[in-house]
Each structure stands twice: as structure tokens, then as C-alpha cells.
């Protein structure tokens, strides 16, 4: 199918799936019984090797997140071309200052009773950082290059039926191989799929709907199979588990079954209504024997990209209110955890976010499952490098051999998720220059089109002038601009697609609860404490503050949305302090590394969340020593006007206006002089009536510890996590926004203490130790379940403070 893009770029009516094999197929997740060592032991693949003294771990596992922090781990001397640097300088925290460099070995001894001769077994890796070499029963059975790619190995001939098998995996993280913290180890699931020889091909099913009407949708299902003389029966169930359609097919063409199934009165998938159906697809032999079965959650929706109009979902013009996310989960590192991902998406949902860009790598299966379920559109990205390097040992080493294979696995494994509405073949690749770059861009885009002719492909472009001149930007299905707000109009006129995507925007920097004076908009500003001001007016030389993007998003219908850099802080890339130690994580996040919202969260919420009231005041009001000094007060609200009071005295009414981008989206009282007491804001609706009020008070000394859990009931599965926000208040219950007390944590009952994080980008405290200092009055404690139901108690203590306790529960 040839993709056409000009006035109408794409019109796709799709049903998407995320299948899990059942019945005649068995999935065995290799979670436990792993042994791990960072010792360089080349004999570790041997059957007779004794690994009993190695560390016992469960997978997913990130060996580096346990620290310690040290600037020597991956100290890089480089000039970051993407940031406009010309002279190489020492970058001390660029990859998070954690010990991810080196070789790690994993071993697991297992048996698969379900496997017998004549069956098929696939060993599936969802992410292995990095350059995995895989050994089974002493024999090397496969390898891969890219640490972010999913891949599988057919182990049917090497798996021993009815006996123990020994799996060994060697991982090697080279120095100078990343621009951020990549993590280390088997950081996503490892599993074995056992099936009949006659079965569905792994990741070989693709479902679309070529026609959706108000009363019916046609489900088009293509399933690649191995074997002949087979038949396939599909049942479609609605969210109430009621069968709404059934069809049988017996003809195999080009190794695939093809069905068109009508679903009456379809419920459409969208961020507002993420309705999911289930397809049960069964494969039968000629004698009626069930050979294989797939259970597939899917959603029905249509996407459309039009020149001068933008992006439409289910016929409705929709802007991407998106964020970029790196794959690390703060104090958990790169090890994927569904509870942590769900918490992130819950926070983003409250902000009004409707889209995610996986930056700059393949998303986890868990993240996509949650995006389907919770209602987020997804821009699934693949690479940060092509053939030209950004870092010495980056992906360019693998491009020629692996690029096509990596895209094929990405697309086939995930193309059935309703959340994915676009692919990205790269981010700020140096290949934007020269004819070879155009050739590579077309090659990669063609691979995406071949594997999935239903979605467009973009690239995050930072060299916009170059891509306008060379034709690189015109080649892409969707031209993605990273920053360069001053070039949007010129790019729109230059590119033929008729629309622009803000594939990466803002890169505003701030530290939660930290405010600097005087309050002025500036770039590349640095302070002695290595923090950034949370007045949200500071950016990098190549980036901008949020309001400049808001203007383009609101005023230009041909700007189809934005993906803000970033939704959460992440480990590594501590710009603007990447040359200063001990900065070791980013300042870009709308929320900090602990997942605690910064002030900027409420600026985006005031514009993106149309359902809830937003009224947020900054800064805090504890400024001993600043009495009588100018201390501006900003208000982020979805109302157009508000009145400010300081200790009961009106400071006047402010109304949003178009004089500057900041005045358009913020209410600002820039001449307020600090005096201790109470700051109160009253917001007015469009009729001038009081809509909502909020206030901030000056706190006394820290007195009592307060605990608040995101969930008080968790699953007793050994993986689930409750995130408890810890803060301190004074004797009157007023939060203490400048508290830095060191606290201790104790967990008893049916759970374990997992980690803590305070969101301070300069803290060298170890996440998994049971003590940490507050940062701007807060931190977060992670309590992880065990495989036992019962009561859980977290107790938090600190010198001179009334301790805090909270009871949780874990249940099966």
C-alpha cells in the first residue's frame, strides 16, 4: 500500500491489539531464580560453572541503580552539537553518575514441563542493556546489538525436555555509549513461549478496520501462521465479556489467514473513552484439534492527518498535549515496573496530558498496555542515532546490521496497540545533513510503511534550516520540529505536508520548590547551589519557556500538537549543570525525579485540563531575611482573572492579556514585597463571580511528619508498589516548604522497603538506603509488596520530629 501525503495525508480506520498466548501455548516468565555478577568471568556460560555465590536477583533488574554515585563512572569529554557546543568540555553527570559501565552476567536454571519434542519454544527478551550474548546449556544460541530492542530466539533444538536447563546472558555496557542514564542488565521481562509447531507466528498478527460507521465497524484481521490444513475461528467480546461477533476461515494465502468481521454499534477508543474489546483467536488442525490460541485486547479508532487542518481522532480535530519520557523510573532505574508506570500516567492524566513520546527508544510493553487502558496516544520512537555518531560507542555501530531488524521487531510487537498513532525513526540525528541522510530517512520510513502501512512516520529535527534546504523534512510523513519556535512559520511554508508537529518542546529547567531572585526570563542561568528557579522562566540556549509553545499551539491550526521535554525528570543530562558536580539528573521535568509536581505542572494543567479547576500560587511564603524585598507572586489558573491579598490587603486584580506570552497564560504580581503571613488568591469566572480561592501561609519550625500514599491497597505479587509522599508540617499543620531534615524509614508486615527519592538533582544519597533528607520539604518512599497478603506499616522518623505512621494492605 503506497502512502499518500499532501492535502489528506492519512485516513486510517483501525483496530489494534496486544495479544497474549493461551491454551495450547504456554508463557513462562523467568522472573525469579536468577543469579547475577559483575565479575568478568568468561566461563559463566558453562553448564558446570558454580554461580551459587552470585547475588540472587529477580528480573526485571537494573544493576547500576544501587550506586554509588561517582562522577568517574562515565565521565565524558565532548561538545554536544545538538546544544550548539563547539568546544569539548568535561561532562560529569551526563549518564547519571551510576555504575552502568562494564560487563554483567545473569544465570537461571529452569525446567519447562510443557515442552516436548515436536513443540516449539521461543526465548523472548523485552530489553537487555546491552549487547546481549545468550547461552543455553553451554552453547551460544544468539546475540543482539541494541539494548532497547525486543527480540526472540528459537530455542526448540537446544531446550532439553523434562530436565533442567541453564540459561546464561552476558551483557556489556560500553563507556561513551549514551547521552543519558541507560540502565544496565535485564531491565525488562524475559520469558519463554512454548507452542505447537502448527501455531501463530510470533508478533505475526495485525488487526485494522478499513471501515467504521456509526452502527458498525469492520475488523480486518491478518494472522501469520506456521502449518497447513488449518482453520481459524475468531470471537470478539465487548468490555462486559459478551460475544459480539464470530467468524471462521479456512483459506491460507501467503502464509496468513485473513478475516473481515463486523462489530455492531462499536465503542470507539480515545483518551477520553479508552474502550477495549477482546478478540479470542483459535487455530485448529484438520481433525478439529486446537493447536493455538490468542487472547487480544484491542480498541477501535480512526486517525487522520490533513494539510492546514491537523490531526483528527475519530473524526474530531485533536491536538497532541504530550510529554516526552525517558525509560528510567527515577529511584527504580531502568527496571520496568507497572505500578511505577501507572503512577506516572495517573499524574499526567490529572495534568490533562493526552499523549506520550518514548524518548529516544522503544517503549516497554507495560507502558503501552497502560496507555491503551488509561487513554494516552503514543508516539513510539526507535533511535537516537543512525549511521553518524553522537557518542563514541552509540547506535551507529549497529545501524547497518540491525536498523531494519530493530524496526521490524518494534512494529510487529506493538503495532496492534490502539494508543500508537505515529512512529518515529529518529531524534536529532546528525544524518540530517547530506544526501546519505535522505537515503537513510527514506529507507527507515519505507521499512515502517512496509510493516505498518497505517501510521505516519516522523523524525525529531533540530537542524530545521538544513532539512528545509535538503528535502529531508519534505520526505517525512510528519515533519517534527524540536524547539526552533522562530522557524515554525518558515517550515510550514517550506514543507509540503501542510502541518508541523512540535516533536520536542520547551526544555524549561526548574528545581521543585526553589526560587531565585531577581525574577527575570533568562537562558543558561547557573547558581552556586546548582539548582534552577521554579518561576519557570529559565531555559537553555537552544530551548524556550512553555508560553512560547502555547502561542503556536493555540493560534496555528496547522501545528498539530507538542511533546514537552519532559514529563518527569530523569537520570543523566543535568543541563545546565552537566559540567558541574554533583549534578546527576535532569531539571527538565514537569514533575521531579520522585514524581512530585513542580510549579510548572500547574501551568500545563491550567491549559490542558479542561475538566478540573486549577489555582496554584508560587512561590512558597517562607523568606526569612527577605522582609521588604521584592518577591513576585505568580498564579497558574484556568481562570482569566484573580485578585491577590497579602495579609488581608488587596494587591490588585490581574487579568490575562496578550501583551506577552507570559501575560497570556499566567497571572503575575511582580512588585510584591515579602512580609510573613498569608498570601491568598481569589479567582473569578467569566461573569466576574468568585470561582475558587487558595492560600499559602508562612510556616514555623518543622514539628510533625505527614504521610500520604498514592494507594493503600496493593497486590501481593512481589512487584506492586505503593508510593508514599512524606512531608513535614509545623505545630499548626502548615507545610514546611524549606525543610531538609534527614528521615529514617522502617517497613514491617507484608512488604519491604524498596527505595526513596527526594527529587534533588544534586543529591548523592543512595536510593535504596533507608534514610534520606527532605528536599523542599518533601520526599517519596516506595514500599514494595511480597508474595504474601497482610497488613503493612511504614514508620518514618526524624530527629526532633513527631514520627509519621501509615498502614497499608496487600492482598491477592
Whether residue 292 contacts residue 195, with contact meaning beta carbons closer than 8 Å, is answered with yes
Residue 460 pLDDT:
98
Paired residues of 470 in beta bridges: none
CATH no. of 704-811: 2.60.40.10
Pair type for strands 320-325 and 355-358: parallel
CA distances from 355 to 161, 364, 376, 419 (A): 45, 15, 5, 9
Which CATH architecture describes the domain 623-697?
A: Sandwich (2.60)
Instruction: Determine the pLDDT at residue 21.
Output: 33
CA 594 – CA 603 distance, rounded (Å): 19
Query: Is 428 annotated as catalytic?
Result: yes
Is the CB of residue 107 less than 8 Å from the CB of residue 51? Answer: yes
> What's the full length of the chain, in residues?
812
Find the Cα–Cα–Cα–Cα dihedral 128, 343, 797, 727, rounded to 10°: 130
Specify the CATH number of the domain 32-64+100-188: 2.60.120.260
Mean pLDDT, the chain cut into blocks of 10 residues (812 residues total): 37 40 74 94 90 97 97 85 76 94 97 93 98 98 98 97 96 96 98 96 92 94 96 97 97 96 97 95 96 93 95 97 98 98 98 98 98 98 97 97 98 96 98 94 98 97 96 97 97 97 98 98 97 98 97 97 98 96 97 98 97 97 98 98 98 98 98 98 96 98 98 98 98 98 98 98 98 98 98 98 98 96
Q: How many whole angstroms separate alpha carbon 281 and alpha carbon 293?
A: 6
Catalytic residue among 193, 428, 538, 573: 428
CA distance 519 to 632: 7
Q: Which three cell numbers stand for residue 639?
A: 481562570
| CATH 3.80.10.10 matches 319-507+544-571+600-608 | no
Third-level CATH fold of 8-21+198-303:
Immunoglobulin-like (2.60.40)
Question: Which of 315, 344, 317, 371 lies closest to 561, judged by CA?
Answer: 317
Tell whether the torsion through CA atoms of 317, 323, 324 and 330 is positive or negative: negative
E-strand spans in 610-697?
615-618, 633-637, 641-646, 649-655, 667-669, 678-684, 690-697
**Rounded CA separation 487/490 (Å):** 5
pLDDT at 415: 95
> Fold identical between 8-21+198-303 and 623-697?
yes
Cα separation, 666 vs 643, in Å, equals 13
pLDDT of residue 689: 96
d(CA 217, CA 46): 55
What is residue 86's three-state secondary structure? Answer: coil
- Catalytic member of 504, 538, 562, 765: 504
Q: How far apart are CA 662 and CA 664, in angstroms?
A: 5
d(CA 772, CA 780) in angstroms, rounded, equals 10
Residue spans of the domains in the chain: they are 8-21+198-303, 32-64+100-188, 319-507+544-571+600-608, 623-697, 704-811
Residue 168: closest CA among 127, 141, 123, 135: 135
**Of 357, 268, 353, residue with least CA distance to 319:** 353
- Alpha carbons 760 and 780: distance in angstroms, whole number: 12
d(CA 539, CA 521): 8
Beta strands in 699-741 (DSSP E): 704-709, 713-715, 721-729
- Between CA 452 and CA 424 the distance in angstroms is 13
- DSSP string of 378-401? EEEE--S-SSS-SSTTSGGGTHHH
Residue 544's contacts (CB-CB under 8 Å, 6 or more residues apart) are: 483, 485, 505, 506, 507, 508
* 196 labelled catalytic: no
**C-alpha to C-alpha distance for 358 and 84, rounded to whole angstroms:** 24
Amino acid at each position: 500500500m503506497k502512502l499518500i501525503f499532501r492535502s489528506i495525508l492519512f485516513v486510517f480506520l483501525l483496530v489494534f491489539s496486544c495479544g497474549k498466548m493461551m491454551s495450547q501455548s504456554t508463557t513462562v516468565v523467568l522472573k525469579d531464580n536468577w543469579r547475577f555478577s559483575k565479575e568478568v568471568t568468561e566461563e559463566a556460560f558453562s553448564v558446570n560453572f558454580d554461580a551459587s555465590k552470585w547475588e540472587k536477583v529477580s528480573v526485571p533488574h537494573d544493576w547500576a541503580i544501587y550506586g554509588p554515585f561517582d562522577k568517574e563512572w562515565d565521565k565524558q569529554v565532548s561538545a554536544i552539537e545538538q546544544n550548539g557546543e563547539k568546544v569539548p568540555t568535561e561532562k560529569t553527570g551526563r549518564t547519571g553518575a551510576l555504575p552502568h559501565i562494564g560487563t554483567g552476567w545473569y544465570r537461571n536454571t529452569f525446567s519447562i514441563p510443557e515442552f516436548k519434542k515436536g513443540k516449539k519454544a521461543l526465548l523472548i527478551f523485552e530489553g537487555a542493556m546491552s549487547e546481549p550474548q545468550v547461552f543455553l546449556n553451554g552453547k551460544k544460541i544468539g546475540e543482539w546489538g541494541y539494548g532497547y530492542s525486543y527480540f526472540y530466539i528459537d530455542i526448540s533444538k537446544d531446550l532439553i525436555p523434562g530436565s533442567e536447563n541453564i540459561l546464561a546472558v552476558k551483557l556489556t555496557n560500553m563507556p561513551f555509549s549514551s547521552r543519558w542514564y541507560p540502565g544496565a542488565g535485564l531491565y525488562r521481562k524475559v520469558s519463554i513461549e512454548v507452542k505447537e509447531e502448527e501455531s501463530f507466528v510470533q508478533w505475526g498478527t495485525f488487526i485494522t478496520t478499513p471501515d467504521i460507521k456509526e452502527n458498525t465497524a469492520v475488523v480486518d484481521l491478518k494472522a501469520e501462521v506456521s502449518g497447513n490444513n488449518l482453520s481459524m475461528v475468531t470471537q470478539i467480546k465487548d468490555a462486559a465479556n459478551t460475544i459480539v461477533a464470530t467468524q471462521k476461515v479456512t483459506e491460507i494465502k501467503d502464509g496468513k489467514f485473513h478475516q473481515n468481521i463486523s462489530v455492531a454499534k462499536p465503542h470507539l477508543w480515545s483518551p477520553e473513552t479508552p474502550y477495549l474489546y477482546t478478540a479470542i483467536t483459535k487455530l485448529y488442525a484438520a481433525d478439529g484439534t486446537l493447536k493455538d490460541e490468542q487472547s487480544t485486547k484491542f480498541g477501535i479508532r480512526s486517525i487522520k492527518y490533513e494539510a492546514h487542518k491537523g490531526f483528527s481522532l475519530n473524526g474530531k480535530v485533536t491536538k497532541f498535549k504530550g510529554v516526552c519520557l525517558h525509560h528510567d523510573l527515577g529511584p527504580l532505574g531502568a527496571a520496568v515496573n507497572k505500578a511505577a508506570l501507572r503512577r506516572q500516567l495517573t499524574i499526567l492524566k490529572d495534568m490533562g496530558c493526552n499523549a506520550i513520546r518514548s524518548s529516544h527508544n522503544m517503549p516497554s510493553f507495560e507502558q503501552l498496555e497502560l496507555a491503551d487502558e488509561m487513554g494516552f496516544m503514543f508516539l513510539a520512537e526507535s533511535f537516537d542515532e543512525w549511521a553518524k555518531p553522537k557518542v563514541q560507542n552509540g547506535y551507529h555501530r549497529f545501524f547497518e546490521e540491525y536498523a531494519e531488524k530493530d524496526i521490524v521487531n518494534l512494529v510487529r510487537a506493538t503495532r496492534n496497540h490502539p494508543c500508537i498513532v505515529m512512529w518515529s525513526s529518529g531524534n536529532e540525528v546528525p544524518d540530517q545533513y547530506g544526501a546519505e541522510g535522505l537515503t537513510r530517512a527514506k529507507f527507515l520510513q519505507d521499512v515502517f510503511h512496509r510493516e505498518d502501512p497505517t501510521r505516519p512516520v516522523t523524525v525529531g529535527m533540530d537542524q530545521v534550516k538544513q532539512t528545509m534546504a535538503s528535502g529531508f523534512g519534505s520526505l517525512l510523513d510528519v515533519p517534527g520540529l524540536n524547539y526552533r519556535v522562530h522557524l515554525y512559520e518558515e517550515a510550514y511554508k517550506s514543507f509540503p505536508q501542510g502541518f508541523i508537529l512540535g516533536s520536542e518542546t520547551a526544555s524549561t529547567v526548574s528545581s521543585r520548590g526553589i526560587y531565585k531572585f531577581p525574577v527575570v526570563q533568562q537562558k543558561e542561568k547557573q547558581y552556586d547551589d546548582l539548582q534552577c528557579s521554579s518561576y519557570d522562566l529559565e531555559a537553555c540556549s537552544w530551548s524556550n519557556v512553555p508560553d512560547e509553545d502555547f502561542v503556536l499551539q493555540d493560534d496555528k491550526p496547522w501545528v498539530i500538537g507538542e511533546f514537552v521535554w519532559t514529563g518527569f525528570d530523569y537520570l543523566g543530562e543535568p543541563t545546565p549543570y552537566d559540567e558541574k558536580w554533583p549534578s546527576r539528573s535532569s531539571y527538565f521535568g514537569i514533575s521531579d525525579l520522585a514524581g512530585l509536581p513542580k510549579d510548572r505542572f500547574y501551568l500545563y494543567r491550567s491549559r490542558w485540563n479542561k475538566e478540573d479547576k486549577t489555582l496554584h500560587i508560587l512561590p512558597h511564603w517562607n523568606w526569612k531575611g527577605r522582609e521588604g524585598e521584592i518577591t513576585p507572586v505568580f498564579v497558574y489558573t484556568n481562570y482569566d482573572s484573580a485578585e491577590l491579598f497579602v495579609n488581608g490587603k488587596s494587591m490588585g486584580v490581574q487579568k490575562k492579556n496578550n501583551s506577552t506570552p507570559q501575560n497570556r497564560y499566567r497571572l503575575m504580581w511582580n512588585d510584591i514585597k515579602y512580609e510573613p503571613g498569608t498570601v491568598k488568591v481569589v479567582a473569578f469566572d467569566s461573569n466576574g463571580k468568585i470561582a475558587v480561592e487558595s492560600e499559602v501561609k508562612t510556616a514555623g519550625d518543622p514539628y510533625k511528619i505527614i504521610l500520604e500514599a498514592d494507594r493503600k491497597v496493593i497486590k501481593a505479587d512481589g512487584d506492586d508498589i505503593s508510593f508514599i509522599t512524606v512531608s513535614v508540617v509545623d505545630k499548626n499543620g502548615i507545610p514546611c516548604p524549606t525543610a531538609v531534615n534527614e528521615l529514617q524509614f522502617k517497613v514491617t508486615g507484608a512488604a519491604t522497603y524498596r527505595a526513596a527519592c527526594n527529587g534533588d538533582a544534586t543529591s548523592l544519597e543512595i536510593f535504596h538506603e533507608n534514610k534520606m533528607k527532605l528536599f523542599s520539604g518533601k520526599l517519596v518512599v516506595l514500599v514494595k509488596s511480597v508474595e504474601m497478603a497482610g497488613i503493612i506499616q511504614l514508620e518514618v522518623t526524624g530527629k526532633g520530629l513527631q514520627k509519621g505512621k501509615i498502614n497499608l494492605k496487600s492482598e491477592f
